[in-house]
Amino acid sequence: MDGDSAELNHLAEKLREVEAAYASSLKALDALADFPLPEETLKDLTWQLGRLNALWENPGRPEPGGLGGAFRTRVWDAVAPAIERQQDFNSILVQMLNGQADEGAKLHVHLRSVIAALLHYLQRLLPLIDARDRSASAHAVARAELILEAFDRRLESLEGRIDGLRALRDRIDTLGEEAGAVRAALRNPPAPAVAAAAAAAAESASYAAFERRFRGDAADVRARLQGYAQLFAGNGPVVDLGCGRGEFLDALVAAGIAAQGVDGNARFVGECRARGLDVVQGDLLAHLRSLGDGALGGVFAAQVAEHLTPATLQDMLRESHRVLRKDGLLLLETVNPRSLYSLLEVFHRDLTHERPLHPDTLSFLAAAAGFADVRVEMKAPVEASSRLQPVPAEGLPPRTAGILNENLDRLNAILYGPQEYALFARR
- Please measure the distance between the N-terminal and C-terminal CA atoms of the chain and give it in whole angstroms: 53
Rounded Cα gap, residues 288 and 295, in angstroms: 10
| Buried/exposed code over 387-408 (b: 16+ C-beta within 10 A; e: otherwise) | beeebeeeeeeeeebeeebeeb
In a domain, 211, yes or no: no
Is residue 128 located within the same domain as residue 238? no
On the CB side of 127, CA atoms within 13 Å amount to 5
Residues 126 and 264 in one domain: no
Q: Domain range holding 326?
A: 220-426
pLDDT in tens, 132-172: 777 666 666 667 777 777 777 777 777 767 766 666 666 66
Q: If we measure between CA atoms, which residue out of 279, 283, 281 comes closest to residue 250?
A: 279
Structural domain count of the chain: 2
Whether residues 125 and 259 share a domain: the answer is no
Model confidence at 64: pLDDT above 80: no
Strand locations in 303-380, DSSP E?
324-335, 373-379
For residues 224 and 137, membership in a common domain is answered with: no
Asked if the structure places residue 2 within a domain, the reply is no
Among 108, 141, 174, give the residue marking a domain's end: 141
- 202 within domain boundaries: no
Q: Which of 208, 188, 211, 212 is nearest to 198 (CA)?
A: 188
- What's the CATH number where 346 sits? 3.40.50.150
The pLDDT tens digits for 356-387 are 889 999 999 999 999 988 999 998 888 888 78
Is the bond leading into 59 cis (omega within 30 degrees of zero)?
Answer: no
Strands (E), 266-401: 279-281, 296-302, 324-335, 373-379
Question: What's the rounded Cα separation, in Å, for the pair 56 and 52?
Answer: 6
312 vs 105, more confident: 312
pLDDT level of residue 193 (50, 70, 90 thresholds)? very low
**281 in a domain, yes or no?**
yes
Amino acid letter, 6: A
pLDDT at 301: 93
Considering the domain boundaries, does residue 208 fall inside one?
no
| pLDDT confidence band for 26 (50 / 70 / 90) | confident
Q: Which residues pair with 280 in a beta bridge?
A: 262
